[in-house]
Chain A
Amino acid sequence: MTGPFLLLHEADNVLVARLSVDQGTVVALQDGAITLSRPIPLAHKIARHDIALGETIYKYGMPIGIATAPIYAGEHVHIHNIRSAYTATHALQDADGTSAGVSL
């Protein structure tokens, strides 16, 4: 797959941003084109296709967590809609990757 998102493994249901991608960008996915509803920072993930509640998330071809909500194709996949199968993730309010925690 070309463009701003990388598919790291054929078995994956997420894609990884190889640069910061603007809201409104049209992205071609396997089930058709989607429009990003929010900016996706470098190295954050989007859903490769629709993911059901409770489904395992795969990256590098390996399980990295479990969906805590239905996730639509092209949606940001992160701590608000997946959880660890091991220990809970500790994050601050800048976890969306766009809001700075401090003034610059």
Chain B
Amino acid sequence: MTSFQGYLRSDGRKGIRNTIVVAYLVECAHFVAQRIVAGFEGEDVQLIGFPGCFPNDYAAQMMDRLCTHPNVGAVLFVSLGCESFDKVRASNTVAATGRPVKTLVIQKSGGTQSTVAAGRTWVREAMSRIAEVPRVPMQIGDLIIGTVCGGSDGTSGISGNPAAGRAFDLLIARGAACIFEETGELIGCENIMADRAVTPELGEELRRSVQKAERYYATLGYGSFAAGNAAGGLSTIEEKSLGAYVKSGESPISGLIKPGDVPPSGGLYLMDVVPDGEVRFGFPNISDNAEIVEMIASGAHMTLFVTGRGSVVGSAISPVIKICANPDTYRALSDDMDVNAGDIIDGNRSIDQVGAEIFDLVVAVAGGAQTKSEQLGHREFILTYKSFDPIGPACLPAHA
């Protein structure tokens, strides 16, 4: 059985990285947090944060899940002091897991320079403490893997997405939990997707989640469709959706989760990323990294990112494997791409062969190999306001 070394956390979950996150709790603390991180070039210290000053249950829960993610070893919160984010509660949540945690309040720490200095001192100390985290054997069945597509074009649905779907099938067959998402990019697929649910009731939940997305985007006046999608040959949202849908592979769908819900066992899960209730805070996810962050909050150890037009992003906390669907884009941006699924379009390799390469790469990255975006230093992160109701009892049939 394939095995690699992971970091054992107190809740029993295992991480593939041992990152220190520095989290700003309002935009006003962003710069100071960024300066603290800048003192650790080339070391595993990463910046995350929430820019808003108003309280939001979703953002608070996301920060809790991110700061206790199995890839995270220690957390430094950076607060201005007067923002509404409940830093005491967040700090207690992290402390309860046994991770080193510290909160610096700029208004009480002497301002920019002394807070940066204090932050860097604490991070250096935390680094030696988390070096003691026990290493344990980890199997594919311990992994949670997400998938997104970004900068999609007409090649995505023919090469990159089917290959990612093949990798999902291989991972799920070995016990991993895999998450696909963006219900706004499944418009037109709701009926074929519902037929794959493990129960009819779950199928109905899947159908409803896409109908919700359709209503939400109709209110906003734009579909989940960027101008570059059209330049790349995609004409309608349903054409984009059908291409995106094949990322899910052919496994049965075991459940419907929302951002921050951790899959309770192996299998395939749809993440409903569209907020509940009336349209309040704008677009469901304003860019690709907002989707990636939500899958990480649901425990994703890494993300398979399929691009056609060519994205260069990575992510904080969990590595991103970039799969390039378009052979011309691969030639132009090969330094940023981990997998050339354009080979399928060029006729050089089959979907199965590229799917197997993605699977092997997932295992290697879980074992510590760095993805292209990690090597280049990409650690993008974005978190905005949203609101969700909890999932209903039909959403996780095996665990109801």
Contacts and interface: CB of A to CB of B under 8 A. Distances in A.
Given A60-B157, A84-B223, A42 B328 contact: yes
A92 B339 CA distance: 29
A92 B227 contact: yes
Interface string B298-333: 000000000010000000000000000011100000
Interface string A38-77: 0001111100000000000101101111000000000001
Contact of A63 (B153, B222, B225, B238): B238
A20 to B, nearest CB: 8
Contacts of A82: 235-236
Nearest to B217: A87
B231 A86 contact: no
Per DSSP, chain B at the interface is: loop
A94 B227 CA distance: 8
Contacts, number: 116
Given A16-B154, A18-B345, A87-B218, A78 B235 contact: yes
Contacts of B233: 16-17, 41-45, 78, 97
B187 interface: yes
Contact of A65 (B154, B227, B239): B239
A60 B237 contact: no
B223 A90 contact: yes
Given A43-B308, A62-B188, A90 B238 contact: no
A77 B233 CA distance: 9
B154 A45 contact: yes
A103 interface: no
Interface string B336-357: 0000000001010000000000
A8 B317 CA distance: 38
B367 interface: no
Contacts of B169: none
Contacts of B328: 20, 42
Given A45-B235, A78-B233, A91-B231, A86 B187 contact: yes
B345 A86 contact: no
B235 A43 contact: no
A97 B231 contact: yes
A85 interface: yes
Contacts of B254: none
Interface string A92-103: 101111000100
Contacts of A63: 188, 238
A89 interface: yes
8 contacts: A18-B345, A19-B345, A42-B233, A43-B158, A43-B308, A62-B238, A64-B235, A95-B227
Given A42-B233, A57-B235, 15 more contacts: A17-B154, A42-B327, A60-B242, A60-B243, A62-B188, A65-B238, A78-B235, A79-B230, A82-B235, A89-B225, A90-B225, A95-B227, A95-B231, A97-B231, A101-B231
Interface of B: 153-155, 157-158, 187-188, 192, 214, 217-218, 222-223, 225-227, 230-233, 235-239, 242-243, 308, 326-328, 345, 347
